[in-house]
Structure 1
Amino acid sequence: MHHSIQNAVQQIEGLVRYSVQLQRVAVKRVSGGYALIDSLKRHGVKHIFGYPGGAILPIYDELYRAEAEGGIQHILVRHEQGAAHAADGYARATGQVGVCFGTSGPGATNLVTGIATAHMDSIPMVVVTGQVPRHAIGSDAFQETDIYGISLPIVKHSYVVRDPREMSRIVAEAFHIASTGRPGPVLIDVPKDVALELFDYKPVEPGNVKLPGYRPTVKGNPRQISQALRLIRNANQPLLYVGGGAIAANAHAEIKELAERFNLPVTTTLMGLGAFDEHHSLSLGMLGMHGTAYANFAVTECDLLIAVGARFDDRVTGKLDEFASRAKVIHIDIDPAEVGKNRAPDVPIVGDVRQVLIDLLRRSKQDGDMRDPERNQPWLNRIARWQEDYPLEVPHYPDSLSPQEVIVEVGLQAPNAYYTTDVGQHQMWAAQFLKCGPRRWISSAGLGTMGYGVPAAMGAKVALPDEEVICISGDASFQMNLQELGTLAQYGINIKTVIINNGWQGMVRQWQEAFYEERYSSSNMQAGMPDIIKLADAYGIKGMVVRSRDELKGAIAQMLAHKGPVIVDIRVKKDENCYPMVAPGKSNSQMIGLPQHKKLDKAAELLYCSSCGAKNISTNNFCPECGTKL
């Protein structure tokens, strides 16, 4: 009896050990595709935007199982470019890494524009492409392209996975590289046989990454921070110039504290919109080619320029050697390659923008400000005069809607929405008149990608389903990726698209009018715009057309109230131009489109007293109000 019980116990223990061994084998022996999907889930990926194809099918097969288990969702786009832009919009709205998939060959090359868009604007993305089997690489196999080589100039880093045992490590490294330092896209190219091959899986958890050659500088140099602080305290006409790096670093609170502590007027780049509240009295809005007149005057006249997460882009600087030519420059950026690339700073500070500003503010409090709070007041008075004399104008025409009043009305009815844009005149009008919070402005700045707006909005809405997401588009840009209406319809992605329809490639027409003697070569779109109501109806979504001012307010309200995606085609004045404008090769102070009697020329530098800000109405070179020699 005793022996029989002992034998039974041993048999049960043996069965348990065998069961555990089977479970261990089942867990450990996996495919490269499984390792990829599991690693993405471990890194918190909830949504993937993509399109399947032959070379990436093993990965999609594992994704099918993962979706069935829950916790991750694939959004099937209608074109791979839409997948890249959606992942980009997802990343901009959340600050998290966006993920997109595409197959080999044309699938991979269709992603290139979206990868370049993210690269130019420093957006964290992980892009996974399928590839032909390892033995076929280099043989011109069906749907083979060297996406690794093609994408090298437009990624932060890239991998070809040649051994499935490296998959989890590569994914962990890709997320670390994409999201740290200066963010950017990372490519992972996976040969088909690597995705199929079985191996003993040892996952690499997020954060367990060691890259000896990759150590971004986070903390700013204390000596340089002290030098910057001295310049700020001693400046008479300082200007805070904020770029997209402040958004990436989530430094909006520190920007506000710095501006208020030292009474600094603030201007932002297109990428920096939202980093500083544009309702704030110190805000000058956007500077540059289509920036506000007062921001461009301020950057021309300032004696200290504090550049925070900005790269001195040509659309911002105009004629570079005349950009802030009277100013000392402090440049704070996490990318050492950007510091001094276009403009040599007097005080360069390499480090994370938020961390540098935290240290600078802490140092200023420890040392005491040692600065008269009224020191900037004459400078602020002068800027206030510019704001009074050169406001952004919203024209009202008796027989047509202006694009500006459409943008203003949308902004009034949806002040807290996330806004995406396409590229062109509508983008600049939106930048001028919408007042967005941090991460609520989503626009292709560096590459200027038409067709970006709808898929980017799609990505933002998938990430933030409870937020209002609105795309401001143009009739030409909208048609670049209108196939993504199918994605909106399939998943019920509730974004609103406002088309500023002037029947032209608007910015192209404006340049042809101004610089090409009105030779409108291939820029007229009036004959090719689809009927939006019919197009939307074909996809099973709501379409609307607005033709007059009387219809505008109600139509926007109806659009926002509708529970589902909506496209509104708003017919606006066909030949409206976007002003102010800095012409190519001109300095920021030489804007066109200002009121004729107030155009700034060389003599206009004497319109304002640099001491008290009063208008100089005398002819004897002395301010009539404070007596300062001009």
Structure 2
Amino acid sequence: MRMKTAQILMECLLEQGVDTVFGYPGGTILNVYDEFELHGYKNKVRHILTAHEQGASHAADGYARSTGKVGVCFSTSGPGATNLTTGIATAYYDSSPVVFITCNVSENLIGKDSFQEVDITGISMPITKCNYLVRDPEALADVMREAFAIARSGRPGPVLIDIAKNVTAAEADYTPLPLEQHASQGRLGAMLRRASHDLKTPEPDAGDIQTLLDLIETARMPLVLVGGGVIRSKGAVPEFRRFVERLGAPVASTIMGGGALPGSHPLFTGMIGMHGSHASNYAVDQCDLLIAIGCRFSDRVATDPATFARGAKIVHIDIDRAEIDKNVRTDHHIIGDARRVLELLNERLPQHAYPTWKEWVFSHSEVPLKRDDILHPHEILETVQDVTDGDAIIVTDVGQHQMWCAQYYHFSRPGQFITSGGFGTMGFGLGAAMGAAVGNPGKVVVHCTGDGCFRMNCHELCTEEHYGIPVITVIFNNRTLGMVRQWQNLIYKKRFSQTDLDRGPDFIKLAEAYGIPGERAADQAQFEAAFRRAVACGTSYVIECAIDKDAMVHPMVSAGTPVTDFILD
């Protein structure tokens, strides 16, 4: 059938099962937005109008991470498109599947420095899996289908589609195509096969599987390191847990691996790396076999690559061949989807135990936590855990509060911990929390943030209030850029340059200005009472927690040094 290309775009979203779009309109994308009213797509696809394009990008990302679906974000050209770039990079570094749809100026104006023209495909090329500039109306449907396939396939990630404005006003032929038929459709199937080398994930090599089984058989002190790849791989977590139970070895996690194994599990040693637990960091230093699954060995994990797991055979399991030997040299690797690799291992892995090794690892307990009249970060997270029975979705910004969440909240499932682990995006949390709440109605969503991070995108409170999105924002307010101050304290000899946040706003008055209730808490009892009220009310809520300006994340390893060289115990 013949229809306007803007309508074809909307029909393609419905083919993909899209129920929610986050976005912000502007001149070049108006033909698309007109379809919400002209043909009633507002009754089929919910549109969330954010206060800023960056908020929309993070919301689509949070929706994707918490649901496992592909998130969708709309924006206009020029500054609207460039405002998405931080969100695109955030999704890219954490392998989050989001399709960003922008519209550019008309074809006859491209390349002429026209009003609000920008080469967003060129700008976003290094931070997307794939991107497109659509000039042919007849190609749009297949481009849309291909983009979604690429975003969710292999190692997931963001894809950007930029459409010339005149294309959205044109007409083209459209034939409805159910999602399950996309890969087999002639021209589309060929496009999908050409588009990305990882659309068809390779079957793990049987010899590589056997080599790892042989290494396990001879190991006496193995350690498993789980990363975000296990979280992103559909169905991998149950297989991972079966693998861990059979192996019976200690398990450490990167920040992105949170939820792959319950935090309360007796084999779990905690986070590894710069702010890793003593048990995890000492274990990786002394193990004789390290099995790393779906992680990048970033500089926050392998703080000194030359000494990381210095006495171990290192085995790296990853879907992306480019990650192998990129940061840490390995002795063996297996290329494949984490779920499939673990399935094959579980078919042949006998039961193991390693009691002496585990006793040594878990003897490295942490320093007892403080309990006194002031409010400590761990008390905030313990209270959230207790009041919600550990079922809340935790979304963070970046900094000390992010590390405290990773350390003190016991995540039990994938998609429960949403954070910017790779790009480290301050201002990510509020938008991502909105996306998580929209995608998970009925779940308690807690946005943990610092006073510095919250200032960056706090205007999205108006979006929460308008759409009735129930996010509880907990501000760890130490009146400073806490993580930067911690580095200045420990490494820069207390030269506190430009980190004090001795200024407004009054966060509770700010929340009230947006029509959202708020409270302050100075001790654990006050916080628990406020948090219980926030959960009971079922709407957006802001709780400001007064914490010590010099509260620090313990432990800490300095960048570039071995993971056992703690400068802060």
| TM-score, length-scaled by structure 2 | 0.95
**Unmatched tracts of structure 1, length 5 or more:** 1-27, 595-630
- AA aligned to 1:244 is G
Residue 599 (structure 1) aligns with: none
Matched, 1:119 2:56: no
Matched, 1:406 2:387: no
Please state how far the C-alpha of 1:156 moved relative to its aligned partner: 0.5
Shift of the alpha carbon at 1:69?
6.0
Structure 1 residues 198-597: aligned runs within 5 Å: 198-206=171-179, 207-208=182-183, 209-210=189-190, 211-213=192-194, 214-216=196-198, 217-250=201-234, 251-364=236-349, 369=350, 373-374=352-353, 376-387=354-365, 390-391=366-367, 393-398=368-373, 400-414=374-388, 415-436=390-411, 437-528=413-504, 530-594=505-569
Question: 2: distance between equivalents of 1:86 and 1:395?
Answer: 36
Listed as ranges, the gaps of 5+ residues in structure 2 are 184-188
Amino acid at match of 1:490: H
CA distance in 1, matches of 2:213, 2:41: 56
Mapped partners of 1:281, 1:50: distance in 2: 43
Report the residue type matching 1:58 in the other structure. N
Report how far residue 289 of structure 1 moved.
Answer: 0.8
User: Measured at CA, do residues 446 and 71 of structure 1 come closer, stay the same or move farther in structure 2, by a change above 3 Å?
Assistant: same
User: SS of 1:233's equivalent?
Assistant: helix
| Aligned match of 1:176 | 149
8 Å CA contact 1:395–1:405 kept in 2: the answer is no
On the 8 A contact 1:582/1:591 being kept in 2, the answer is yes
Distance 2:334 2:41 in 1: 49
C-alpha change, 1:169 and 1:204, in structure 2 (3 Å) is farther
Show the counterpart of 1:14: none
Using a 3 Å threshold, how does the CA distance of structure 1 residues 202 and 550 change in structure 2: closer, same or farther? closer
Determine the structure 2 residue equivalent to 1:13: none
Q: Which has the larger radius of gyration?
A: 1
Aligned 1:125-164 pairs, distance under 5 A: 125-164=98-137
| AA at the equivalent of 2:227 | G
Equivalents in 1 of 2:41, 2:149: separation in Å? 28
Letter aligned with residue 341 of structure 1: K
Q: CA deviation at 1:203?
A: 4.1
8 Å CA contact 2:104–2:117 kept in 1: the answer is: yes
Name 1:12's counterpart in structure 2.
Answer: none
State the superposition RMSD in angstroms: 1.3
Secondary structure at 1:212 match in 2 = helix
1:215: Cα distance to partner?
4.1
For residue 161 of structure 2, give the secondary structure of its aligned residue in structure 1. Answer: strand
Percent of pairs with identical residues: 45
Do the aligned partners of residues 482 and 67 (structure 1) sit closer, same or farther apart at CA in structure 2, a change above 3 Å counting? farther
Aligned to 1:73: 46
Contact 1:542 1:565 in 2 (8 A): yes
Q: After superposition, give the CA deviation of every residue in 1:338-394 in whole Å (9 maximum; x if it has no partner).
A: 012112222211100001110111133xxxx3x7x44x111011012113xx35x43
Tell me, what secondary structure is at the counterpart of 1:500? strand
CA gap 1:274/1:36 in 2 versus in 1, 3 angstroms: same
CA distance in 2, matches of 1:263, 1:380: 9
How many angstroms apart in 2 are the aligned matches of 1:205 and 1:186? 21
TM-score normalised by structure 1 residue count: 0.86
Residue 151 of structure 2 aligns with an amino acid whose one-letter code is A
Distance 1:427 1:66 in 2: 43
**Separation of aligned partners in 2, 1:561 and 1:332:** 43
1:445-471 residue CA offsets vs partner (Å, 9 max, x unmatched): 000001111110100111111111111
Q: Which moved more, 1:553-562 or 1:75-84?
A: 553-562
Distance 1:549 1:205, change over 3 A: closer
1:386 aligned counterpart, secondary structure = coil
Aligned residues: 555
**2:489 and 2:495 in contact (8 A); partners too:** yes
Shift of 1:66: 5.2
Give the counterpart letter for 2:149 in structure 1: H
Name the CA distance, whole Å, in 2 between partners of 1:397 and 1:190. Answer: 58
